Amino acid sequence: MRQIVLDTETTGLETSLGHRIIEIGCVELIDRRITDNHWHYYINPDREIDDGAFEVHGISNDFLQDKPRFQEIAQEFLSYIDGAELVIHNARFDVGFLDYELGQLEGESTTIEQHCRILDTLVMARQKHPGQKNSLDALCRRYEIDSSRRSLHGALLDARILSDVYLAMTGGQTALGLDEFDHGHDLGSKMTGRQPVSRNGPLPVWLGNEASEQAHLEYVKFLREQCDDPVWE
């Protein structure tokens, strides 16, 4: 399954006032794994950036003067996202701006939903955590995601952080943990107190203990809550 976690920065809040996209950042997930195939552009909007927007993202008019216009990167962008599921926090905002930009292009008009399915993590978060704050910063705190580099908003950085938040929110194993072995750390020995077996010897078999069994049961309970009809049942 291919998903693209996407974020944008803009000159202001309303397309009805002629505001434009100035940055698009995308992070690719393949079967819930973050890949190196990210996509990122700064874009010259051919208009001034509102002071309030500048305070949020820190991108200046001067910085964007030599950047491409949206029409120059539009086809590359559509090719990159085509057929994927877009994961966006407050999708209505970003998709609204993207559709506005696509509507300014010459030729046959198109919309984002003609190319992608869309998953809104803000809607998901409100369903999982009703009555609570569900901004990206709030979700980072709730799921213990490090957002310390986020002093200003940036589309690619926010997409990367949202990737971690989305994976944490939806549960499930996101990696096989092979890196732990590569760095000389063994998860099995931490759980059971056994010494790791040499990688040159027989395949190690780690026996669970009471704590790991309880953690497994709690995780299965969590999965049941997330799935209407778990396949193992």
What tens digit of pLDDT does each residue of 86-122 get? 999 999 999 999 999 999 998 888 999 999 999 999 9
Residue 218 lies in a domain: yes
Question: Which tokens go with 98?
Answer: 């993207």
Residue 142 inside a domain? The answer is yes
Position with higher pLDDT, 6 vs 208: 6
Q: Do 149 and 184 sit in the same domain of this protein?
A: no
Q: Are 121 and 148 found together in one domain?
A: yes
Q: Which two tokens stand for residue 112?
A: 């984002």
Q: What totals of helices (H) and strands (E) does the chain contain, helices first?
A: 9, 6
Q: Is residue 30 part of a domain?
A: yes
83 and 144: one domain?
yes
| Within-domain flag for 233 | no
Question: What residues are labeled active site?
Answer: 153
Q: Answer with the one of 169, 195, 217 that is the final residue of a domain.
A: 169
Domain presence at residue 184: yes
Task: Tell me: do 102 and 152 sit in the same domain.
Answer: yes
* Integer Cα distance of 216 and 218 in angstroms: 5
State yes or no: pLDDT of 220 exceeds 50.
yes
Its domain, for residue 89, covers 2-169
The reported pLDDT for the residue numbered 40 is: 97
Gap between the Cα atoms of 128 and 130, Å rounded: 6
Q: Report the pLDDT averaged over residues 27-42.
A: 96
In terms of domains, do 35 and 148 share one?
yes
* CATH at 109: 3.30.420.10
Q: Whole-number mean pLDDT of the chain? A: 84
- Please report the pLDDT score of residue 233 as a whole number: 64
Task: Domain count for the chain, please give it.
Answer: 2
Are 163 and 192 found together in one domain?
Answer: no
pLDDT at residue 18, as a whole number: 95
- The confidence score (pLDDT) of residue 219 equals 74
Q: Strands, DSSP E only, in the chain?
A: 2-10, 21-30, 33-34, 39-42, 85-88, 117-120
Quick one: tokens of 120? 């809104």
Pair (11, 98) in one structural domain? yes
**One domain for residues 67 and 133:** yes
Let me know if residue 12 belongs to a domain. Answer: yes
Whether 106 and 195 map to the same domain: the answer is no
Mean of the pLDDT values across residues 43-61? 94
Confidence (pTM) = 0.72
| Whether residues 8 and 92 fall in one domain | yes
Q: Which residue has the higher pLDDT, 189 or 43?
A: 43
Asked, for residue 232, whether it belongs to a domain, the answer is no
Question: What pLDDT, on the 0 to 100 scale, is given for residue 46?
Answer: 95
* 185-210: average pLDDT: 48
Residue 28 has pLDDT above 80, yes or no: yes
pLDDT at residue 125 in the model: 96
Residue 63: what pLDDT?
A: 95
**pLDDT confidence tier of residue 211, bands split at 50, 70 and 90:** confident
Residue 131 is encoded by which pair of tokens? Answer: 């009555």
Would you state the torsion angle of the CA atoms of residues 222, 139, 96, 1, taken in this order, to the nearest 10 degrees? -40
pLDDT at 215: 74
Residues 142 and 191 in one domain: no
212 vs 42: which has the higher pLDDT: 42
Instruction: Based on the fold, state whether residues 158 and 186 are members of the same structural domain.
Output: no
Confirm whether 231 is domain-assigned.
Answer: no
